[in-house]
A and B are shown apart, each in its own frame.
Chain A
């Protein structure tokens, strides 16, 4: 079974530029998550999708971050414009359903450096 795929794996941009990350979840997984992991901290949920609808985006900085999951499969997370504090690893995860006990499967992440 293929795991969660993410691209690119690494990205370096200058502040005020824009960047996009792509995620393809495990086939059949209805729920998709984007997390931000800043160095030295645990992952923080940015947004959760159930199929192509948003379940929770309470911690997404909506003035600069946006995400979509068209057709309920793969997803894109965008930052525009980027700030220095956005430097982090962006993790995508998926699960069969969105209930609390369900295991989340994580991709390898995209490491973003903003200079």
Chain B
């Protein structure tokens, strides 16, 4: 069984500031981990994914995340926030075998102020 905990339902940053969205996971098998972004009235779009290769994963729009097994974490970061980054972000986990289902966290809304 897998589960995801995203700390903070809302995160507010100023434009140009560091973005840090936290994700901790629980999995009984080696996990695959994902970050998705959802803009208003749209479906989810994949930002990046960890599939047991490099622990530091780079994604689209300048985002990256680091897999830390010892901390069971997969936090999402971006050095400098842009107004267009305002959206809801979801962390998700699945097992690394067979038809494992994707389990999502509750999401974190990122608010970016000028």
Interface residues of A (CB under 8 A from B): 4, 33, 40-45, 48, 50, 55-56, 91, 93, 98-101, 103-104, 106-109
Contact = CB atoms under 8 A, between A and B. Distances in A.
B104 A100 contact: no
Contacts of A43: 44, 90, 104
Contacts of A99: 98-100
B102 interface: yes
Contacts of A93: 43-44
A80 B44 CA distance: 27
B106 A50 contact: no
Nearest to A4: B43
Nearest to B51: A101
Q: How large is the interface on B (under 10, 10 to 19, 20 to 34, 35 or more residues)?
A: 20 to 34
B95 A100 contact: yes
Given A42-B92, A100-B94, A48 B99 contact: yes
Contacts of B100: 99-100
Contacts, number: 63
A80 B94 CA distance: 31
A44 B2 CA distance: 13
A45 B93 CA distance: 13
B99 A91 contact: no
11 contacts: A4-B43, A41-B107, A42-B92, A99-B99, A100-B96, A100-B99, A100-B102, A104-B46, A107-B43, A108-B41, A109-B42
Nearest to A108: B43
Contact of B106 (A4, A40, A100): A40
A106 B104 contact: no
A42 B99 contact: no
Given A41-B107, A108-B43, A101 B99 contact: no
Contacts of B101: 45, 48, 56
Nearest to A106: B43
